[in-house]
Amino acid sequence: MSRLGKKPVVVPGGVKVDIADHTISLEGPKGKLSFSFRAEIAAAFDAVSKNIQVSRKDDSREAKSLHGLTRTLIANMVLGVTQGYSKTLEIYGTGYGVKQEGNNVAVTVGFANVVKLPIPKDVKVTIATPQAKSNTAPAVFTIAGPDKQVIGEYAANIRRVKKPEPYNGKGIRYQGEHVRRKVGKALAGAKA
């Protein structure tokens, strides 16, 4: 048995669980999520002890690999509908900024045009600082929602617009991300 897979997923109060035909649906205060798991895996909800038990039907290699994965995905769903997930991004660079235009996030990062990225369903964008003041004071915004995969993918798509460059540190990065800096060619024109 998988050590992680056999641990039950504790479901807090206020979360509705529905398991039908290899699909689990959860509904909580932060939203509603559903996930279709493979036929090699079985999931059961115990209403008395308020936990979800994930098991596999046989000991095939594929079933073993899916056992812990399915349990972790269900645990992430429970956490998402109760507390939610969030990622905070920072934009460094003079004149760089971010703003919300309707259902899009508009990012200004030194290109000729403003880059607009559509906001996915059930995702909330909060802009703390809309404009970067300098290379030391960034524009800060947060992406939040119940689905961990959607939040991570959307944050990665925004970061991909302008990754932080190593010489001046300009670009979009996650909060707390360390950018390894390089020394520029300071003495390039000083040859005799």
Identify the DSSP state of 184. Answer: -
Domain ranges for the chain: 9-82, 85-174
CATH top-level class for 85-174? alpha beta
Q: Six-digit token pair at 13? A: 């109060």
- Write down the pTM of the prediction: 0.88
Domains 9-82 and 85-174 share a fold: yes
CA 142 to chain CA mean position, Å: 11
Q: Place 101 in a pLDDT band, splitting at 50, 70 and 90.
A: very high
Q: What are the E-state strand segments in the chain?
A: 9-10, 16-20, 23-28, 31-36, 41-46, 51-56, 85-92, 97-101, 104-108, 115-118, 124-129, 139-145, 171-174
Q: Give the CATH fold of the 9-82 domain.
A: Outer Surface Protein A; domain 3 (3.90.930)
Predicted local confidence at residue 183, as pLDDT: 87
